[in-house]
Amino acid sequence: MDSKNSIEPGVDLGDRPDIPLIVACFPLIFLVATLSLNVFIFGDDAVGGSNQVLLMASAAVASILAVFFHTSWQTIEEGICNSLKIAIPAMLILLMVGALSGAWLLSGVIPTMIFYGLQLLDASWFLVSAVIISAIVALFTGSSWTTSATIGIALMGIGKVLGISPGLVAGAIISGAYFGDKMSPLSDTTNLAAAATGTELFTHIRYMMLTTIPSITLALLVFAVLGAGVTEPAGLESDAIAVTLQEHINVSPWLLLVPLLVLVMILRKVPALPSLFAGVVAGLAFALLFQPELIRTIGRENSGTEEFLLYRGIMQACFGDVAIQTGNPVLDELLTSGGISGMLGTIWLIISAMMFGGAMEASGFLQRITQVLISRARSILGLVATTAGTCVFSNATTSDQYLSLVIPGRMFTAAYRERGLASQNLSRTLEDTGTVTSVLIPWNTCGAYHATVLGVATLSYAPFAFFCLISPFMTLLVAATGYRLVKLPQRG
């Protein structure tokens, strides 16, 4: 992930022993209980607005309790504002990704990637291929977000045509993307975990291999087994799909220069937002070159007039709904985009979640809970398990991947040193649990982002994001066995 460059937690992480533990936990209990009821009632539609209302209500509960326990409203408000400030870059990226998806659909970039992908990827090995391709892109870009927004969208389309469950395809993409993100020296989270614990970057990356390589190997084996039974659906002819695409869209290998431009810019360490903006501009330019009639059709469908059709079509692709009708139900479902407007519900979810996280942190409730956890860690395994639990807890309560690394990183550094453990033990645990579990939580910025970009609800892909599910247990297994735990040198 690379949605922002700095972290500014709003308050000190010190103890608040005056706050009863049950009070500190109550807003979280309220949130989990009401969200569970909400999902039961609304199902996948819960993210359409009702979850956001409950997150804001939970923020209100936390704020009321905090004021009762002598935290001023000004402090709470500042905490919420600081939390929202952290999320602003992520929301800007979401807006740009909305425009990108529309521009790449209009230009034919996404249909072209689907066209060639269907011809190159075998159905039985598609899931394994999706993991490997996503891992390579994320490794070289350092960004799971960019991976989903580029190659991930195309892989979702190919999987849909092959009749594979969208949740399973998204799980494969996310597994590969988060493996590459973790192991990349270009990744923000990799650098942040190392910096937060005082670990040299490549020492951190090498040490992560002890848990990360076994985790991705197991994930690949599971995907290989699941993919072995996948065959092209009866009646699906790749040639027929290709012909249908070519009848409605000018498919050309030159269109692949657009995603290549984005990947090259990120490899050259251009920040995500300008890189994605360049992808939007390039996509629109190629749309004018390759798909002028399609643009006019979109402009005519959404305006009903014959004036300024090219302009109307381009603007519609960037901000609103676009659908390319081919007569093939599978393709028609794929060749749609909501543009920027399609991202607004996710941005509302992020704002609501960050309000709750800011209130919980500013009130001292998070610190009260995590300090209790630290005090009960008696062994090395207990310490690692407590760190892992705190990372997951931070992901669920602060709704931000970066804070799930920074807060435990700051809180556990002294505890690891007192147990004689080198800093890379902590940095690896942060990544094995904080980085990878963020995408499994619907209201976390990562979970909300990937669900929106890939078009699959978080709870639908989470059971199949095998790498992200295995990694926390792998770090606990290594701690339990004591395998290659690095100790601090003894002072003579």
Domain boundaries defined on the chain: 21-86+343-481, 90-337
Bridge partners, residue 322, by sequence: 337
> Looking at the predicted structure, is the pLDDT value of residue 11 above 90?
no
The CA distances from residue 85 to 4, 192, 350, in Å, are 10, 18, 11
Residue 17 has a pLDDT of 58
Residue 381 has a pLDDT of 93
Query: Bigger pLDDT: 18 or 418?
Result: 418
Under the banding of pLDDT at 50, 70 and 90, the label for residue 37 is confident
Residue 8 has a pLDDT of 41
Residue 6 has a pLDDT of 39
> Looking at the predicted structure, is the pLDDT value of residue 41 above 90?
no
Residue 3 has a pLDDT of 46
- Identify the helix (H) or strand (E) that includes residue 336: strand 336-337
Biggest distance spanned by C-alpha atoms of the chain? 84
Q: What is the mean pLDDT of residues 462-481?
A: 96
In the chain, what percentage of residues exceed pLDDT 90? Answer: 45
Q: How many CB atoms are closer than 10 A to CB 293? A: 11
CB 67 within 8 A of CB 330: no
Token pair listed for 243: 């012909």
Q: Which of 407, 364, 273, 452 is nearest to 69 (CA)?
A: 364
Residue 491 has a pLDDT of 62
CA distance linking residue 279 with residue 264, whole number of Å: 11
pTM: 0.80
Give the DSSP letter of residue 324: -
Residue 261 has a pLDDT of 92
Q: Which of 254, 306, 307 is nearest to 283 (CA)?
A: 254
Residue 237 has a pLDDT of 57
Highest mean pLDDT among 124-133, 168-177, 451-460: 168-177
> Looking at the predicted structure, is the pLDDT value of residue 437 above 80?
yes
Under the banding of pLDDT at 50, 70 and 90, the label for residue 161 is confident
Distance in angstroms between the alpha carbons of the first and the last residue of the chain: 42
- Identify the helix (H) or strand (E) that includes residue 323: strand 322-323
Residue 212 has a pLDDT of 96
> Looking at the predicted structure, is the pLDDT value of residue 470 above 70?
yes
Residue 492 has a pLDDT of 53
Give the DSSP letter of residue 148: I
Give the DSSP letter of residue 440: G
CB 440 within 8 A of CB 42: no
> Looking at the predicted structure, is the pLDDT value of residue 132 above 50?
yes
Under the banding of pLDDT at 50, 70 and 90, the label for residue 462 is very high
Convert the pLDDT of each residue in 330-388 to its tens digit. Answer: 778 778 888 999 889 888 888 988 898 889 889 988 888 877 877 887 899 999 999 99
Highest mean pLDDT among 189-198, 207-216, 362-371: 207-216
* Type of residue found at 96: M
Under the banding of pLDDT at 50, 70 and 90, the label for residue 119 is confident
Convert the pLDDT of each residue in 145-159 to its tens digit. Answer: 888 988 898 899 888
> Looking at the predicted structure, is the pLDDT value of residue 234 above 60?
no
CA distance linking residue 15 with residue 31, whole number of Å: 23
Under the banding of pLDDT at 50, 70 and 90, the label for residue 7 is very low
Q: Which of 411, 378, 381 is nearest to 393 (CA)?
A: 411
Convert the pLDDT of each residue in 274-333 to its tens digit. Answer: 988 999 999 999 999 999 999 999 988 877 667 789 999 999 999 999 988 888 777 787
> Looking at the predicted structure, is the pLDDT value of residue 13 above 70?
no
Give the DSSP letter of residue 229: T
Under the banding of pLDDT at 50, 70 and 90, the label for residue 10 is very low
Average pLDDT, the chain: 87
State the residue for tokens 């290594």. 478
> Looking at the predicted structure, is the pLDDT value of residue 9 above 50?
no
CB 258 within 8 A of CB 275: no
Under DSSP, is residue 487 helix (H, G, I), strand (E, B) or coil?
Answer: strand
